[in-house]
Amino acid sequence: MMALAFPGTAVAEPSREELKRQIDKAGKELTVIVEKYNQAREKLKGTKSKAAKLNKKLAPLQSKVDALYASTGKIAAAAYKGGDAGVVNALLTGGSPGTLVDQLSTLDALATKQNKQIRQLDLAKGDLDDKKAAIDKLLGKQRKIEKELAAKKKKIKSEVDRLTGTYEKAFGPINPPSRDYGTPPYVGGQAQKIVDFVYAQLGEPYEYGGAGPNQWDCSGLVMRAYQQVGVGLPHSARQQYNSTARVSRGDLKPGDIVFFYSDLHHDGIYIGNGTVIHAPQPGEYVEKISISAMPYAGAGRGNY
């Protein structure tokens, strides 16, 4: 028998558990998109840097080519002016045609030499032009990907914000942060700076694209933690994986980076005793978790 809805019939509000489930689902989707966006942004930054370096090389080459073309033009004009008219003038005035021929030969040799230089410069410039064309094409592709991911991110974030607002209006903060974190474990050496840093961020909110000073996404937290020991890492979990040395799970040390999920879209800092500090997802806060709380994908160690 079909249930019918009539005007004025009250629609049941989603339960706390259902809202939380929806928020978790949308939040996980958002963290994946955010990390893809971060990765696309880092790649775009690298390509822009390559384009700038190429432009820096192209400018002086173009100036040299232009100067040689101008110089060759002057030589050609001089040869033209001193050509047939010069021969007739030399004969009429009793001058030596041989002298004029010598001058024309010198001009011709100069022009030949400069034409050779121009060809060499044109070849070098052509090679750089080809590279620049390839980079410009890549830039266009990367900008398109970044734009598409930004649109997806905006759409999912809007849904997360809507669900979170509904939840908090009905039930209060989703996961109010604990304020009892104790003191950071003693690990010694440079790693202590990394551990102390992430420990100091416990309880601070997740924010997509966040890299401090008091809002974080996962790779933003890791990036800033490693800056404490002078190591620069990209703002992307996957690229942080590619930028660090592999460490087996059995050889983990405090300060190492732990990566989660097969697509490496999430990471955190290992602080010892099977514990990781990470920035989880929208609506949540930087927290300590067991290394087994999410699918383990690997670990990395920076060079410090």
* DSSP letter string, 207-231: -TT-BSSS-B-HHHHHHHHHHTTT-
Of the ranges 69-83, 167-181, 185-199, 277-291, the best mean pLDDT one: 185-199
Return the percentage of the chain with pLDDT > 90, whole number.
Answer: 41
- As given in the structure block, the two tokens for residue 299 are 């670990």
Residue 218 and residue 131: Cα distance in Å, rounded?
Answer: 35
Catalytic residues: 218, 266, 278
Packing angle, helices 191-200 and 218-227, rounded to 10: 140
What are the backbone angles phi and psi of residue 113, rounded to the nearest 5°? Answer: -60, -45
pLDDT of residue 291: 98
Residues 6+ apart with CB under 8 A from 130: none
pLDDT of residue 106: 61
What are the backbone angles phi and psi of residue 216, rounded to the nearest 5°? Answer: -145, 145
* Helix (H/G/I), strand (E/B), else coil: 3: coil
User: Structural domain boundaries of the chain?
Assistant: 16-171, 191-301
Residue 36: exposure state from Cβ atoms within 10 A (0-12, 13-18, ≥19): buried
- As given in the structure block, the two tokens for residue 189 are 């050496």
Inform me whether the pLDDT recorded for 128 exceeds 90. no
Residue 265 and residue 298: Cα distance in Å, rounded?
Answer: 12
- Angstrom distances, CA of residue 121 to CA of 45, 61, 75: 30, 7, 19
Inform me whether the pLDDT recorded for 75 exceeds 70. no
Instruction: Pick the range with the lowest mean pLDDT from 9-18, 77-86, 112-121, 268-277.
Output: 77-86
Q: What region, left, alpha or beta, does residue 203 occupy, with left being phi > 0 and alpha being psi -120 to 50 degrees? A: left
What is the mean predicted confidence (pLDDT) over 51-72?
77
Q: Which residue has the higher pLDDT, 119 or 268?
A: 268
pLDDT of residue 3: 46
Please, which pLDDT band fits residue 85 given cuts at 50, 70 and 90?
A: very low
Residue 99 and residue 86: Cα distance in Å, rounded?
Answer: 11
The gap from C-alpha 139 to its chain's centroid, in whole angstroms, comes to 12
Beta strand residue intervals within the chain, DSSP E: 245-246, 257-260, 266-272, 275-278, 287-290, 296-301
**Tens-place pLDDT, residues 171-230:** 887 766 777 788 999 999 999 999 999 999 999 999 888 999 999 999 999 999 999 999
Contact 194, 255 (CB under 8 A): yes
Residue 301 and residue 258: Cα distance in Å, rounded?
Answer: 9
pLDDT of residue 4: 46
Residue 48 and residue 133: Cα distance in Å, rounded?
Answer: 13
The gap from C-alpha 191 to its chain's centroid, in whole angstroms, comes to 26
Inform me whether the pLDDT recorded for 140 exceeds 70. yes
CATH number of 191-301, picked from 3.90.1150.10, 3.90.1720.10, 1.10.287.110, 3.40.47.10: 3.90.1720.10
Instruction: Pick the range with the lowest mean pLDDT from 59-68, 71-80, 199-208, 267-276.
Output: 71-80
Average confidence score pLDDT of the chain = 83
pLDDT of residue 245: 98
Q: Which residue has the higher pLDDT, 199 or 17?
A: 199
Residue 122 and residue 129: Cα distance in Å, rounded?
Answer: 10
Q: Which residue has the higher pLDDT, 92 or 49?
A: 49
